[in-house]
Amino acid sequence: MPIIITRTVKIVIFLFLLLISILLLIQKSYAKDISKSIENGQKKAAVCAACHGVNGNSVNPEWPSLANQSVKYMVEQLQHFKSGVRKNVLMSSQATNLSTEDMIDLSNYYNHQKPNIKAAAANEDVLILGETIYRGGIINREVPACIACHGPRGAGNNKAGYPKISGQHSLYLSNRLKAYRDNYDNRDEYGHNYSIMSQISFKLTPKEIEALASYMQALY
């Protein structure tokens, strides 16, 4: 028995195929735009390499590696440096003249770079403590597990603006956690995500901060 395709069905099929074609064109255009942004970002990143290293892999443990970092997080931080919400003598001066397009290009470039793998720089007891807090938190102090926002491998969450912390220098990480802790009273001035981290870091001991930083450096 022959299958009869009604006019309505034909219209639905046509619209479906049209939608697929449009989505493919959008995807192709987006990929082209990203590729161009990465290319532009590489040129603009020449001055950044002095501190953040070639391809975003910093060799100085006081300065963060940016390779494969969240685009949203990097753009937000550059905006904070430019506006004065976040203060750093070097970064504030660098961000002053950056446009939003510059920030996006730089962030897209670094997001597509391959991070170097770093070895653990602490003994086993320290790493075990860091892993315990990272994966399970500290219940009796209401410290949430880091894994909830930063993921099982520390990749972060780009849509939420939660940064990638795996493979980051332990010294830089510990300094950031201490800064979150020390700015607890003024935490709301730095934004929602900063406030969250400040409330968490405030409950951590110096030993726990160092353990977490050491564990995250070796996390992949």
Q: How far apart are CA 39 and CA 34, in angstroms?
A: 9
pLDDT of residue 4: 64
For domain 124-217, give the fold: Cytochrome Bc1 Complex; Chain D, domain 2 (1.10.760)
pLDDT of residue 18: 52
User: At a CB cut-off of 8 Å and minimum separation 6, what does 104 contact?
Assistant: 37, 71, 75
Instruction: State which residues of the chain have pLDDT below 70.
Output: 1-5, 7, 9-10, 12, 14-32
In the chain, which segments carry CATH 1.10.760.10? 9-111, 124-217
Q: How far apart are CA 49 and CA 35, in angstroms?
A: 20
pLDDT of residue 30: 46
Q: How far apart are CA 198 and CA 181, in angstroms?
A: 5
Is domain 9-111 in CATH 1.10.760.10, yes or no?
yes
pLDDT of residue 22: 52
pLDDT of residue 6: 74
pLDDT of residue 3: 59
Model pTM?
Answer: 0.83
pLDDT of residue 207: 98
